[in-house]
Amino acid sequence: MGPPRSDRFFALAALILIAVVWIVSALRTQADLMPVVGQTVPEADHIDKLDSDLYTAWADAAESEFFARIAIGSADGYGGPLRAAVAVDPIGTVVGIAIADDKETSAWMERVLGSDLLSSLTGKRYDDDFILGRDVDGVTGATYTAHALASATAAGSRKAAVAFDLPIKEPDPPRIVFGVPEIVLILLFAIGFVGHQSRFPYTKQARWVSMITGLIVLGFLYNSPVTLAYITKLVLGYWPQWQTNLYWYFLIGGILFVFTVDNKNPYCQWCCPFGAAQDCMGAIGGAKSRSPIRFRRLLIWMQRLLTLTAILLGVWFRNPGVASYELFGTLFELLGSSVQFAALGLVLVAALFIKRPWCNYLCPIRPVTDLIRLTRQTVKERWQKATLKTPAV
Amino acid sequence: MAESDTQNSGRLTDWIILIFVLVVMGLLIADLGSNLEGELDRGNRPAGTTSANAEYPDSSAHLP
């Protein structure tokens, strides 16, 4: 039996709604950058726009002397691209920087703005390396955001230097980051694949090994479970640089691939660290699967509505991190507000008696996997109908 | 009698789960709300706090 018609209708409506919000928010955020560009060289006489990413600042009204070229540089931040307006003088020195757009968590960005990083970036030459802690000041506790700002400044300064016909040395290609989290993730997917086979006799043991490894490595060591921010990033088209983000590609690509081929979820039951934490609590308290028959549909739809709202907010603000409401960081890094700690406490206590309360009633990943499953099934049915209708030649 | 006890206990569990979900969801939404406040504040950062200039460290002082 297929899913109810209402599920298909609401899934389609949700996809259309996300698409509409995507388009409207894209139009809304095409802001005029001139005020930001002006902040980089307030002493210039006036500024001309050459193209969408390049500006010329003049020292005088007659335009006889260049003051600076200003280019918009971009780099991957934690939540998406970070763009900075970078002013470079005719000899290639950075004379001013202003952040044009960012998707970073406010607390981290404020930490960066409160540090000496911005001022240490000014005075650098376009052909410097802009390496944190060596060429420019690092920022403790906001490394990703600080790195994005330094890289965006480097990119902008090189773009501006090209406009001055300064000699440009091609930057070294980014180093491929392939370490412990990537290796462990591949191993966990492999264990899940083998463990799923009906003839495999040690499914239960394999699942526990996979879970505990996921809890320790993907949870406590690297805090990198699948979050709604990953999904929103995908929806927004913020595809990070593959060389430095292989983990993201393996995780999202692996889940989508296994779902498409096998219709099985390789992640939630096998390597999700937060799921494993609940399973451990359940093993201590003797938790049971409890399905509240009276409110089953209500709870499913509440979970879906919360997830849809969070995705729509992330898309509207074009910031994947803003609506990610999971408690993963609260558990694995002990970072979060008192409200988040209260919610985490309730979830962990409930997990003593109910199997995986977070996954079953609150986690945003479940509605997303439901949607993938529904889409797969619908496409498959349509395909089968179409091939049956095709007359044999 | 035993059947009615089981039914009552099942009903109670249903209600406990519903209340648990509503409370946790309420907390998560409250936290989401404070995130959104931070997001709205992002657009209101005063000029000069997001920029640096070699000649004028406090560039906001030179903006009209």
The pLDDT of residue A390 is 65
Tens-place pLDDT, residues A123-172: 999 988 888 877 777 776 677 888 899 999 999 999 999 998 899 887 77
Here the CATH number for the domain that contains residue A125 is 3.90.1010
With beta carbons less than 8 A apart as the criterion, state whether A58 and A47 touch: yes
Q: Give the residue with greater pLDDT, A230 vs B51.
A: A230
With beta carbons less than 8 A apart as the criterion, state whether A147 and A158 touch: no
Q: Which of A22-26, A120-124, A238-242, A269-273 has the lowest mean pLDDT?
A: A238-242
- A118, closest residue in chain B (CA to CA): B52
CA distance A137 to B7: 65
The average pLDDT across A203-217 equals 95
The pLDDT of residue B64 is 26
Task: Identify all chain B residues contacting A357, using CB atoms and an 8 Å cutoff.
Answer: 17, 20-21
A214 and A155 co-located in one domain? no
Q: Among partner residues B18, B25, B53, which is closest to A42 by beta-carbon distance?
A: B53
A102 and A249 co-located in one domain? no
Interface of A with B in 205-234 (CB under 8 A): none
A296-316 and A228-236 helices, crossing angle to 10°: 50
A285, burial (CB in 10 Å: exposed 0-12, middle 13-18, buried 19+): middle
At position A379, the amino acid (one-letter code) is: V
Check if A313 contacts B (Cβ < 8 Å).
yes
The percentage of chain A sitting over the pLDDT mark of 70, rounded to a whole number, equals 97
A135 and A202 co-located in one domain? no
With a cut of 90, say whether residue A52 has pLDDT above it: no
Please choose, from the candidates A190, A314, A327, the residue with its C-alpha nearest in 3D space to the C-alpha of residue A254: A190
A106-113 and B2-42 helices, crossing angle to 10°: 30
Interface of A with B in 57-116 (CB under 8 A): 87, 93-99, 102, 106-107, 109, 113
A339 and A197 co-located in one domain? yes
Check if A290 contacts B (Cβ < 8 Å).
yes
The average pLDDT across A332-356 equals 94
- Residues in chain A, overall count: 393
The pLDDT of residue B45 is 59
Helices (H) and strands (E) in chain A, counts: 15, 5
Tens-place pLDDT, residues A215-237: 999 999 988 899 998 899 899 99
Q: Which of A68-72, A380-384, B38-42 has the lowest mean pLDDT?
A: B38-42
Q: How far is CA A11 from CA A7, A31, A261, A297, A361, in A?
A: 6, 32, 21, 15, 18
Q: Considering A163, A194, A224, which residue would you say is the last residue of a domain? A: A163
Q: Does A35 fall in a domain?
A: no
Q: Residue A117's pLDDT band (boundaries 50, 70, 90)?
A: confident
Task: Identify all chain A residues contacting B28, using CB atoms and an 8 Å cutoff.
Answer: 306, 325, 343, 362
Q: Does A274 fall in a domain?
A: yes
Tens-place pLDDT, residues A240-281: 888 888 998 999 998 888 888 888 888 999 999 999 999 999
A136 and A196 co-located in one domain? no
A282 and A353 co-located in one domain? yes
A159 and A181 co-located in one domain? no
Check if A167 contacts B (Cβ < 8 Å).
no
Q: Residue A177's pLDDT band (boundaries 50, 70, 90)?
A: confident
Q: Does A170 fall in a domain?
A: no
Q: Does A227 fall in a domain?
A: yes
Task: Identify all chain B residues contacting A340, using CB atoms and an 8 Å cutoff.
Answer: 27, 31
Range of the domain at A149: 41-163
Calculate the average pLDDT of chain B.
73
A298 and A231 co-located in one domain? yes
With beta carbons less than 8 A apart as the criterion, state whether A327 and A344 touch: yes
- Supply B38's token pair: 């931070």
With a cut of 80, say whether residue A320 has pLDDT above it: yes
Calculate the average pLDDT of chain A.
89
Predicted complex: ipTM over 0.85:
no
CB contact under 8 A, B17 and A119: no
CB contact under 8 A, B25 and A302: yes
Q: Which of A1-10, A37-46, A298-307 has the lowest mean pLDDT?
A: A1-10
CA A93 and chain centroid, separation: 33
Task: Identify all chain A residues contacting B20, using CB atoms and an 8 Å cutoff.
Answer: 346, 350, 357, 361
With a cut of 50, say whether residue B61 has pLDDT above it: no
A211 and A331 co-located in one domain? yes
CB contact under 8 A, A98 and B51: yes
Q: Does A182 fall in a domain?
A: yes
Interface size between A and B, measured as CB pairs under 8 A: 133
Sign for the CA dihedral angle at B52, A113, A320, A250 comes to positive
Residue B52 makes CB contacts below 8 A (sequence gap 6+) with: A96, A97, A98, A118, A119, A121, A122, B59
With a cut of 50, say whether residue A304 has pLDDT above it: yes
Q: Give the residue with greater pLDDT, A116 vs A221.
A: A221
Tens-place pLDDT, residues A354-378: 999 999 999 999 999 999 989 888 8
With beta carbons less than 8 A apart as the criterion, state whether A83 and A152 touch: yes
A147 and A215 co-located in one domain? no
CB contact under 8 A, A325 and B31: yes
* Number of domains chain A contains: 2
Task: Identify all chain B residues contacting A337, using CB atoms and an 8 Å cutoff.
Answer: 31, 34
CA distance A357 to A347: 7
Q: Residue B24's pLDDT band (boundaries 50, 70, 90)?
A: very high
The pLDDT of residue A387 is 84
Q: Residue B3's pLDDT band (boundaries 50, 70, 90)?
A: low
**3-state DSSP call for residue B64?**
coil
- Supply B50's token pair: 């997001």
Q: Considering A136, A163, A190, which residue would you say is the last residue of a domain? A: A163
A186 and A159 co-located in one domain? no
Testing the interface with B: which of A28, A37, A41, A302 to mutate, by most B Cβ within 10 A? A41
With a cut of 90, say whether residue B5 has pLDDT above it: no
